[in-house]
Amino acid sequence: MATCPAGHDSATDDYCDVCGAPVPGGSGPGGSGPGGSGPVVPAGGVEETCAACGAVRVGRFCEECGQDSLSPVVAPKRPVVGGPVVPVSWYVTVEADRTYFERVVAVGGPDAGAMAFPRFCPPRRFALSGRQVSIGRRSRSRGIFPEIDLVGPPEDPGVSHHHAVLVASGGGWAVVDVGSTNGTTVNEGDTPLPPDRPHPLEPGDRVHVGAWTTITLHRSGGEQA
């Protein structure tokens, strides 16, 4: 029965069958007996390099990271630099715009004399998806069902049933008047857009239709979380 540097009784005389350390005077390459040319290792086991962290390891387990030398090394997960990118989404808000209404009345817009600004008109929100989003007032009899339905209440009578469309364009959106009765304007402009001609929009741009309805374009996402 051989004894290893750690004091274990080993049935083999080359390496300890308990901790794996070379037995002094044994036949292993780390022993000083026949065939052993290496130095005697410190008590406690074989001095090697940990495959996980690179620290000097004596015995089976690394004292630095605890890696078991008999187990495969699992690569650590790589951190995400900067965080994930939030997908871009687009939407519009619709509200009664008194400033726009006053401009319409001042220039004698659609039925300006009979128009009254609504006492209560809660803002509405519509998500934009697909390649084209229609703006107008639904009409079951005519089979018109716009995605941005401005039928109310309160209802802006200056909005045509099929008034305009928003079309996806170059990563953003453009507005196209489709021959509405009272026209479509953008921001502070008083000149109606030419029919059937796309007008590019930026986030925050305001599309005016009817007597007091303003549709504002919004973008969210696209930045790192």
- Cα separation, 15 vs 30, in Å, equals 9
In this structure, of 35-39, 110-114, 127-131, 154-158, the range with the lowest mean pLDDT score is 35-39
185 falls within a domain: yes
Highest mean pLDDT out of 19-33, 49-63, 118-132: 118-132
What average pLDDT does the segment 3-31 reach? 67
CATH number for the domain spanning 169: value is 2.60.200.20
- Cα separation, 159 vs 137, in Å, equals 7
What is the model's pLDDT at position 76?
Answer: 54
> How many structural domains is the chain composed of?
1
pLDDT digits (tens, 9 = 90+) for 157-179: 899 999 999 999 888 999 999 99
Determine whether 113 is exposed, middle or buried from the number of CB atoms within 10 Å of its CB (0-12, 13-18, 19+): exposed
Amino acid symbol at 129 = S
What is the model's pLDDT at position 21?
Answer: 67
What is the model's pLDDT at position 107?
Answer: 82
Amino acid symbol at 4 = C
What is the model's pLDDT at position 93?
Answer: 97
167 falls within a domain: yes
Mean pLDDT computed over every residue of the chain = 81
98 falls within a domain: yes
- Cα separation, 35 vs 217, in Å, equals 83
Q: Which of 74, 22, 64, 23 is nearest to 47 (CA)?
A: 22
pLDDT digits (tens, 9 = 90+) for 39-89: 444 444 556 778 777 778 777 777 777 777 776 666 555 555 566 777 889
Q: Kindly report the pTM of this predicted structure.
A: 0.61
What DSSP string describes 78-92? PPPTT-PBPPPEEEE
What average pLDDT does the segment 173-199 reach? 95
What is the model's pLDDT at position 148?
Answer: 97
What average pLDDT does the segment 131-135 reach? 96
Higher-scoring residue by pLDDT: 63, 99: 99
196 falls within a domain: yes
110 falls within a domain: yes
What is the model's pLDDT at position 73?
Answer: 66
Residues 47, 48, 52, 53: what is their CA dihedral angle, to the nearest 10 degrees? 70
Which domain, by its residues, includes 180?
89-220
40 falls within a domain: no
What is the model's pLDDT at position 27?
Answer: 56
75 falls within a domain: no
38 falls within a domain: no
